[in-house]
Each structure stands twice: as structure tokens, then as C-alpha cells.
Amino acid sequence: MKEEIVSEGIDWGLFESSWVKLEDSEPKDLVLSGWTQTTEEFKNSGEEVDALKFTVLEEDGQECDKTFTVTSKRLASELKEHVVNAVKAKKDRFKVRICRSGKGFSTTYSVKGLTL
């Protein structure tokens, strides 16, 4: 038996990803919290790499409950200053604007701190 739901009753959260994805040349504003160091396994090769994992509290001004996993050493080094500053200030979260450009080995990241 099919159940139809009108637009007011649709749970749009069921159709959203639980991960944050950075698109080329599209800035993404994130409020990050709960940072940890972990390892991630790539599906194709089975290779394990070091990673930073964050809980995303807000994405582009919208509250959310997502995960942001960083395996790029370039992006991790850009985020380091913000994590270190948050720890020194005894804060459990910080806000940044991340912009990715380029492809493959020429990928670069720009990370700018924003006010919460």
C-alpha cells in the first residue's frame, strides 16, 4: 500500500546527505565542532589515511547535523590555525568560510575565519 504525503508533511531531511561536500569555486560557510583525528579507508584502494573529522552544526546559515571529514593535508593545514585558536580560547566551535579551487594535485583551499 502506497502512502502519499503532501508537501507540508514531507521530511526533507531524509533526502539530504549527512556529509559536507566542497564544490569547486563555491564558498561554503561552516560552523565546526567536535574535531578529532581519525583514519579513513578509501573504498577503491583500501588504503588508510589520516583524517580530521568535524561535526558540522551549521552549513551556509542553516542548522544541520552533518560530518565533515578532511583527508587533504592542504586543507588540514589551513584549518589548523582555527582549531588551535578555538582550543586556546576554550571554545568548542568555530566558523569558517572554505573555498576549494582546482582539480587533483593542483587543488587549493582558502579558509577564512568568520565571527560566530
Reported as a single tens digit per residue, the pLDDT across 53-85 is 999 999 999 999 899 999 999 999 999 999 999
CB-based contact 37:69 (threshold 8 Å)? no
Q: What is the pLDDT of residue 32?
A: 97
Whether 98 maps to a domain, the answer reads yes
Question: Is residue 24 a part of any domain in this protein?
Answer: no
- 5 part of a folded domain: no
Is 7 part of any domain?
Answer: no
Domain count, the chain: 1
| Three-state secondary-structure class, residue 36 | strand
Edge-to-edge, what's the strand order for the sheet holding 108-114?
62-70, 48-59, 28-41, 93-101, 108-114
Domain of residue 47, residue span: 29-105
- Residue 37 within any structural domain of the chain: yes
Identify whether 70 is part of a domain: yes
Classify the C-alpha dihedral 61-56-113-110 as positive or negative: negative
Asked if the structure places residue 19 within a domain, the reply is no
User: Does residue 89 sit within a domain?
Assistant: yes
In sequence order, what are the residues at sequence separation of 6 or more whose Cβ sits closer than 8 angstroms to the Cβ of residue 105?
Answer: none
Burial (0-12, 13-18, 19+ Cβ within 10 Å), 97 = middle
- Band (12; pLDDT cuts 50, 70, 90): low
